[in-house]
């Protein structure tokens, strides 16, 4: 199975890119969905997280309050390391199971932490969706109504743009319109089909 890793910094347009691959009939395994699955209500990992951070990171429904957890882990980097040591192996197992069930000609593994988490070892090629940092901040603040300082902290917690680009086999510059993105994906889709 040809597995293509798709990554990029926050606000780079990874979702728009993977949505287009899905529209072309390609199975997309999303690490963010795997991450949400393993910390779902009543999951063992959620229980451990609540023990570590307290019930303030839970919503009244018993589900994870992502905003509250995000605030804690970016204010206290050592807490982020603890969280990653718990969740990364669980996310990896969930991803592997999803990849093994894929039936399309090739499969996309979409992960904002593809490189940092070591998930790039699961893929044959890495596609980076790239935009300048200023565009990341502008898009993320607009999309999520986030404070620019919080977005900057998220960017700084991720691998640097230069390091991400060094690991890339393919790059799409995504500061243009959606039709440009779709054209670039179609070119790569055709190239990937030839690699099978």
Would you write out the chain's pLDDT as a tens digit for each of its 196 residues? 999 999 999 899 999 999 999 999 999 999 999 999 999 999 999 999 999 999 999 999 999 999 899 888 888 889 988 998 999 899 999 999 999 999 999 999 999 889 988 899 999 999 999 999 889 988 988 887 878 888 888 888 789 999 999 999 999 999 999 999 999 999 999 999 999 9
pLDDT computed for residue 1 by the predictor:
92
Domain spanning 2-38+97-195, CATH architecture: 3-Layer(aba) Sandwich (3.40)
> What residues contact 11, with CB distance under 8 A and at least 6 apart?
131, 135, 136, 137, 138, 139, 140, 143, 151
> What residues contact 96, with CB distance under 8 A and at least 6 apart?
122
CA nearest neighbour of 26 among 89, 103, 128, 78: 103
pLDDT computed for residue 127 by the predictor:
98
pLDDT computed for residue 148 by the predictor:
87
- Show me where the domains of the chain are located: 2-38+97-195
pLDDT computed for residue 114 by the predictor:
93
pLDDT computed for residue 143 by the predictor:
85
For residues 102-122, b (16+ Cβ closer than 10 Å) or e, as one string?
beebbbbbbbbbbbbbebbeb
As given in the structure block, the two tokens for residue 136 are 């990341």
pTM reported for the whole predicted model: 0.86
pLDDT computed for residue 76 by the predictor:
87
How many Cα atoms sit within 13 Å of 100 on the Cβ side?
A: 6
């Amino acid at each position: 199975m040809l597995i293509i890793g798709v990554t990029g910094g926050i606000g780079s347009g990874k979702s728009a890119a993977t949505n287009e691959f899905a529209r072309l009939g390609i199975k997309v395994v999303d690490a963010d969905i795997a991450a949400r699955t393993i910390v779902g209500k009543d999951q063992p990992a959620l229980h451990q997280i609540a023990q570590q951070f307290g019930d303030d990171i839970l919503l009244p429904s018993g589900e994870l309050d992502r905003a509250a957890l995000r605030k804690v882990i970016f204010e206290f980097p050592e807490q982020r390391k603890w969280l990653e040591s718990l969740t990364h192996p669980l996310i990896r197992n969930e991803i592997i199971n999803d990849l093994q069930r894929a039936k399309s000609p090739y499969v996309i593994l979409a992960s904002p932490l593809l490189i940092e988490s070591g998930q790039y070892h699961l893929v044959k090629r890495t596609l980076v969706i790239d935009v300048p940092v200023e565009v990341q901040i502008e898009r993320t603040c607009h999309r999520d109504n986030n404070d620019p300082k919080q977005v900057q902290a998220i960017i700084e917690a991720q691998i640097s743009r230069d390091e991400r680009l060094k690991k890339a086999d393919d790059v799409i510059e995504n500061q243009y319109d959606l039709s440009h993105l779709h054209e670039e994906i179609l070119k790569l889709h055709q190239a990937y089909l030839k690699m099978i």
